[in-house]
Chain A
Amino acid sequence: MIGAEVTFDVALPKIVWGWLVSTNMWAKSIATGTFLLGIYFIKKYPEQDNFFRKWLPILGLIFIGITLLVTVLDLHHIFRFWKIFFHPHFTSAVTLGAWVVSAFVIVLLISFWSWATGNKKLLDRVMIPGFILAFFSTIYTAGIMGEATAREVWVFPSEMISMLLSAMLAGSAAYLIIDALYGNILQEKVRRELGYILFGSAGLSAAMFIGELFFAKMHSEFSYEVVKVLAFGEVAPFFWIGIVFAFIIPMMLVGIANEYRRYRYAWIASIFALIGLWLIKHAWLIAPQTLPLS
Chain B
Amino acid sequence: MRLGFLVDLSRCMGCMACAVACKAENNVPLHSWRLRVKYIDQGEFPDVKRHFVPLRCNHCDNAPCERICPVSALHYLPNGIVNVDHERCIGCASCMMACPYNAIYIDPITNSADKCTYCAHRIEVGLMPACVVACPTHANIFGDLDDPESEISKYIKNHRDVMVRKPELNTHPKHFYVRGSTVALDPLASERPEGYTIFTEVKFLEHIGGH
Contacts and interface: CB of A to CB of B under 8 A. Distances in A.
Interface of A: 1-18, 20, 73-77, 80-81, 83-84, 87-89, 91-95, 98, 144, 147-151, 220-222, 225, 289, 291-294
B137 to A, nearest CB: 18
19 contacts: A1-B43, A1-B44, A3-B43, A3-B44, A4-B40, A4-B42, A6-B38, A6-B39, A6-B197, A8-B197, A10-B36, A11-B203, A13-B205, A73-B211, A76-B106, A80-B91, A94-B69, A150-B64, A150-B102
Interface residues of B, number: 70
Contact of B192 (A2, A5, A88): A5
B71 interface: yes
Given A5-B40, A77-B91, A147-B64, A84 B190 contact: no
A96 to B, nearest CB: 9
B207 A16 contact: yes
B190 A147 contact: no
Contact of A293 (B41, B102, B202): B102
A4 B70 contact: no
Most buried by B among A74, A87, A89, A220: A89
A84 B187 contact: no
B68 A76 contact: no
Interface string B66-96: 1111111000000000000000111111101
B125 interface: no
Contacts of A147: 64, 67-68, 94, 98
B182 to A, nearest CB: 9
Given A6-B192, A76-B91, A76-B210, 17 more contacts: A5-B42, A7-B50, A8-B37, A10-B33, A12-B204, A13-B207, A16-B97, A17-B93, A76-B92, A76-B112, A87-B71, A89-B71, A94-B94, A144-B94, A148-B64, A148-B68, A292-B102
A73 B210 CA distance: 10
B26 interface: no
A285 to B, nearest CB: 10
Interface string B12-23: 000000000000
Contact of B92 (A18, A94, A222): A94
B31 A76 contact: no
Given A148-B97, A294-B55, A11 B188 contact: no
A220 B91 CA distance: 29
A1 B39 contact: no
A70 to B, nearest CB: 11
A225 B97 contact: no
A16 B41 CA distance: 28
A148 B193 CA distance: 27
Nearest to A87: B71
B99 interface: yes
Nearest to B91: A76
Nearest to B75: A89
Nearest to B68: A147
Interface in B151-206: 168-169, 171, 183, 186-193, 197-200, 202-206
Interface string B27-57: 0000101001111111110011111000100
A33 B197 CA distance: 49
A172 to B, nearest CB: 30
B211 A3 contact: no
A220 B93 contact: no
